[in-house]
């Protein structure tokens, strides 16, 4: 992707600043209309005064005519869903308090609330006749009943009520305690507002779809019993209450998402993985006539909600994750993959009208905007539809270059190639200080959206280079590449990062002014790095896995994800977990290190940062700080409250700048480096 001019001719450009995150508008959801070649979009803006976000519905015509904001006023409006004839748009709004279903009449522009639901709805789906909506609704239950049914409604829970845990998981990041509610399907009649609960039991419905004839609903539900992290696909009639006439269709997978009926009703397409902890979402097909599910090709689905059927069971359109990029692809039922659009970019949201694709594009050189192309000529009809962020044109232009590096494949001297992104200001030359930013996962890839890493643009505006690698273990580069890291955290990927930095030094891109940062698994590897090398002058460790042994029992998903990533599943090997934990080596670290963490993080709980910070402080004289953000979870850096995101970005920029740009590389640690390896960028190994 080529970058655009930074500013209008004759006008001076401005460097990016952290406060730009308050200006950035982002498209978070897209729904294609059945008529008029238009999409409904959820546009997120920042309410700086109230330290919050606003979500409003917009309509974009894909022929390029002016967009229209459809909802205003208080509250947030999300989850748009067009009626079958395109005359109405259903959505979820909290304008009157807790989330309610609203229906917007397109001819009058008037919206009205429908139904009295027991909790917040999500996942709206119209029935084919346009008379009803099916929604997943959070339904209060009494956790002391441990899943048993009662004819009495649960009493309102006090904020300090005991939280009993009787199954796993009992908590989730961003939600907290899970067992005081169940998520069930409800049918809401649009005309009368009458509500019928369609499912009941000690499980949660995670996704659903209505069959083309309107008679059946396919849905994903968690398994009942002791462990509820795995899910199954069920189907039942679109009327009635309970699951007496419901049937389990797929129970062979640990993770399943987003079932979508084919036009004929014979097939269900869905995404999922067989093993618990495996984050690679594959494309699968269930045949209702045979009762069998089979995998379609060797592809990874980037956005589960992007799965759509083409024609009469002709094939499936979806957003493909490939080598750290998002492409639009079509898969036929015999497993043949056809690439429709390939670009150096990622997508934040995807919609389809049947004639046009619509997508919110992410790339470091541009803000989030809406692009479209025709279904049959994607490459030739690609164009931008929105201009939500005109201020971006006044900022320093950023160039993001895809690069390939020759790096160690193992400890025996074999080599392999990996890819990554190098970001610099457009036209920058000469040696620059370098920030090595490590992505989470590890079965993920470098995310290119502005909101998650505003500090990239700010640092590049200040003369830095930023390296975002997809080292071994990253998703979207094939099954073998991703799974090679299992049981070898740190040992196989850190040498690849150091080798890539050495290559950039040899090219004159950077010098010894090096900093490292990362969040989640990236925080793990940043903490691992400072315990094994002194090459970095500054480190920022965010929401890390610091001690795998305690992460196993305190994380919302550690009890099944950690054995998978340690390659010991289903057993958890504590000795191996300790050996691969940064905590075991942090006392050797001398790199000035900033630790940052959401205080309410349930994915990598705050004890992970606290253990590392306390051990570092007690063993070293090097500068170190710990910052905890109250009321913030694992996503504090990209999805946290605006003030939290701004504070974290400022602290990161200040920390790496202060310690990396010093004239001499002088750690204040109490430990001297151990024997050096050969003189490279990784020449200072503890």
Provide the residue ranges of all domains of the chain, joining segments of one domain with +.
396-660
Spacing of C-alpha 460 from chain mean position:
24
Closest CA to 308 of 271, 274, 339, 273: 271
Which regions of 410-488 does DSSP assign to beta strands (E)? 415-425, 432-438, 465-470
**pLDDT at residue number 569:** 97
Rounded to 10 degrees, what is the CA torsion of 17, 20, 22, 23? 160
Contact (Cβ atoms closer than 8 angstroms) between residue 86 and residue 74: no
Q: Which residues contact 305 (CB under 8 A, 6 or more apart)?
A: 258, 350
Q: What is the rounded distance in angstroms from the CA atom of residue 129 to the CA atom of residue 299?
A: 35
SS (HEC) of 130-142: CCEEEEEEEEECC
**pLDDT at residue number 410:** 84
The neighbour count for residue 371, using CB atoms within 10 Å, is 19
SS3 167: coil
- Residue 177 sits at φ, ψ, to 5 deg, of -65, 130
Contact (Cβ atoms closer than 8 angstroms) between residue 199 and residue 217: no
**pLDDT at residue number 216:** 97
Sign of the alpha-carbon dihedral angle for 183, 186, 191, 192: negative
Sign of the alpha-carbon dihedral angle for 450, 453, 454, 456: negative
- Residue 611 sits at φ, ψ, to 5 deg, of -60, -45
Q: Is 147 exposed, middle or buried (0-12, 13-18, 19+ CB in 10 A)?
A: middle
Q: At what angle do helices 642-660 and 454-461 cross, to 10 degrees?
A: 40
Q: Which residues contact 606 (CB under 8 A, 6 or more apart)?
A: 597, 598, 599, 628
> Given the DSSP bridges, would you call strands 593-598 and 624-629 parallel, antiparallel or unpaired?
parallel
Closest CA to 347 of 26, 128, 101: 26
Q: What is the rounded distance in angstroms from the CA atom of residue 228 to the CA atom of residue 226?
A: 7
The neighbour count for residue 154, using CB atoms within 10 Å, is 16
* Secondary structure element (H or E) that encloses residue 398, with its range: strand 398-408
Spacing of C-alpha 67 from chain mean position:
27
- Residue 308 sits at φ, ψ, to 5 deg, of -135, 150
Half-sphere exposure of 129 (CA within 13 A, CB side): 9
Cα→Cα distances 431→33, 511, 593, Å:
50, 6, 24
Query: pLDDT below 70 — which residues of the chain?
Result: 1-12, 663-686
**Tens digits of residue pLDDT in 257-299:** 999 999 999 999 999 999 999 999 999 999 999 999 999 999 9
The alpha carbons of the chain give a radius of gyration, in whole angstroms, of: 25
Query: Whole-prediction pTM value?
Result: 0.94
The neighbour count for residue 461, using CB atoms within 10 Å, is 19
Q: What is the rounded distance in angstroms from the CA atom of residue 15 to the CA atom of residue 352?
A: 36
**pLDDT at residue number 674:** 33
Kindly state the DSSP code that residue 471 receives in the 8-state scheme: -
DSSP line for 542-585: ES----HHHHHHHSSSHHHHHHHHTT-TTS--HHHHHHT-GGGT
Q: What is the rounded distance in angstroms from the CA atom of residue 576 to the CA atom of residue 487?
A: 8
Which regions of 84-241 does DSSP assign to beta strands (E)? 88-93, 100-105, 111-114, 121-126, 132-140, 171-172, 176-177, 181-189, 195-197, 205-210, 216-222, 231-237
DSSP line for 330-352: EE-TTS-EEEEE--S-EEEEEEE
Q: Is 388 exposed, middle or buried (0-12, 13-18, 19+ CB in 10 A)?
A: buried
> Given the DSSP bridges, would you call strands 181-189 and 308-310 parallel, antiparallel or unpaired?
unpaired
Q: At what angle do helices 521-530 and 494-506 cross, to 10 degrees?
A: 70
Contact (Cβ atoms closer than 8 angstroms) between residue 518 and residue 656: no
CATH class of 396-660: alpha beta
Longest dimension (CA), the chain: 77
Q: What is the rounded distance in angstroms from the CA atom of residue 42 to the CA atom of residue 29?
A: 5
Q: What is the rounded distance in angstroms from the CA atom of residue 84 to the CA atom of residue 516?
A: 51
**pLDDT at residue number 681:** 53
**pLDDT at residue number 682:** 47
**pLDDT at residue number 662:** 82
Q: Which residues contact 666 (CB under 8 A, 6 or more apart)?
A: none
Contact (Cβ atoms closer than 8 angstroms) between residue 406 and residue 417: yes
């Amino acid at each position: 992707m080529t970058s655009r001019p930074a500013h209008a001719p004759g006008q001076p450009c401005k460097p990016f600043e952290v406060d730009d995150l308050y200006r950035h508008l982002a498209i978070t959801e897209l729904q294609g209309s059945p008529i008029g070649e238009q999409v409904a979009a959820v546009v997120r803006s920042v309410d700086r005064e109230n330290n919050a976000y606003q979500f409003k519905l917009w309509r974009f015509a894909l022929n390029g005519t002016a967009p229209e904001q459809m909802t205003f006023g208080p509250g947030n409006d999300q989850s748009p869903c067009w009626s079958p004839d395109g005359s109405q748009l259903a959505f979820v709004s909290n304008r009157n308090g807790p989330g309610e279903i609203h229906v917007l009449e397109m001819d009058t522009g008037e919206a009205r609330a429908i139904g009295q639901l027991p909790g917040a709805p999500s996942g709206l789906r119209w029935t084919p006749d346009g008379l009803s909506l099916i929604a997943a609704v959070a339904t209060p239950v009494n956790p002391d009943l441990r899943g048993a049914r009662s004819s009495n409604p649960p009493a309102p829970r006090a904020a300090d009520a005991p939280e009993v845990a009787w199954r796993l998981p009992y908590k989730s990041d961003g939600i907290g305690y899970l067992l005081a509610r169940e998520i069930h399907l409800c049918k809401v009649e649009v005309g009368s507002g009458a509500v019928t609960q369609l499912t009941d039991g000690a499980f949660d419905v995670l996704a659903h779809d209505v069959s083309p004839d309107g008679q059946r609903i396919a849905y994903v539900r968690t398994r009942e019993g002791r462990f509820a992290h795995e899910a199954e696909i069920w189907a039942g009639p679109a009327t009635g209450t309970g699951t007496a006439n419901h049937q389990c269709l797929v129970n062979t997978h640990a993770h399943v998402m987003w079932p979508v009926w084919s036009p004929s009703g014979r097939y269900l397409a869905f995404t999922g993985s067989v093993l618990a902890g495996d984050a690679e979402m594959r494309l699968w097909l269930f045949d209702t006539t045979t009762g069998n599910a089979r995998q379609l090709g060797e592809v990874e689905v980037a956005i589960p909600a992007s799965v759509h059927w083409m024609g009469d069971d002709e094939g499936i359109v979806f957003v493909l994750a490939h080598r750290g990029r998002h492409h639009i692809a079509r898969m036929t039922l015999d497993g043949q993959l056809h690439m429709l659009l390939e670009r150096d970019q990622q997508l934040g949201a995807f919609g389809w009208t049947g004639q046009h694709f619509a997508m919110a594009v992410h790339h470091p050189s541009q803000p989030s905007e809406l692009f479209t192309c025709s279904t049959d000529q994607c490459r030739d009809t690609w164009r931008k539809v929105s201009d939500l962020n005109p201020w971006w044109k006044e900022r320093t232009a950023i160039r993001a270059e895809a690069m390939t590096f020759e790096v160690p494949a193992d400890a025996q001297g074999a080599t392999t190639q990996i890819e990554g992104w190098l970001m610099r200001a457009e036209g920058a030359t000469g040696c620059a200080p370098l920030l090595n930013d490590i992505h989470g996962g590890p079965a993920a890839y470098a995310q290119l959206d502005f909101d998650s890493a505003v500090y990239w643009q700010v640092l590049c505006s200040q003369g830095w280079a930023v390296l975002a690698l997809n080292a071994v273990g990253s998703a979207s580069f094939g099954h073998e590449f991703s799974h090679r890291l299992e049981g070898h955290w740190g040992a196989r990927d850190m040498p690849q990062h150091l080798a890539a930095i050495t290559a950039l030094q040899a090219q004159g891109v950077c010098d010894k002014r090096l900093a490292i940062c990362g969040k989640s698994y990236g925080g793990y590897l940043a903490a691992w790095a400072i315990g094994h090398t002194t090459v970095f002058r500054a480190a920022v460790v965010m929401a890390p896995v610091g001690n795998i042994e305690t992460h196993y029992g305190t994380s919302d998903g550690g009890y099944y994800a950690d054995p998978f990533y340690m390659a010991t599943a289903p057993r958890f090997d504590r000795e191996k977990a300790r050996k691969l934990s940064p905590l075991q080596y942090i006392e050797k670290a001398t790199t000035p290190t900033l630790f940052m963490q959401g205080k309410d993080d349930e994915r990598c709980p705050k004890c992970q940062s606290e253990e590392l910070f306390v051990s570092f402080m007690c063993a070293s004289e090097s500068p170190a700080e710990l910052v905890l953000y109250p009321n913030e979870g694992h996503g504090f850096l990209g999805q946290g409250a605006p003030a939290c995101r701004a504070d974290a970005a400022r602290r990161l920029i200040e920390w790496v700048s202060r310690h990396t740009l010093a004239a001499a590389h002088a750690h204040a640690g109490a430990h001297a480096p151990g024997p050096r390896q050969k003189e490279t960028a990784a020449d200072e190994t503890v």
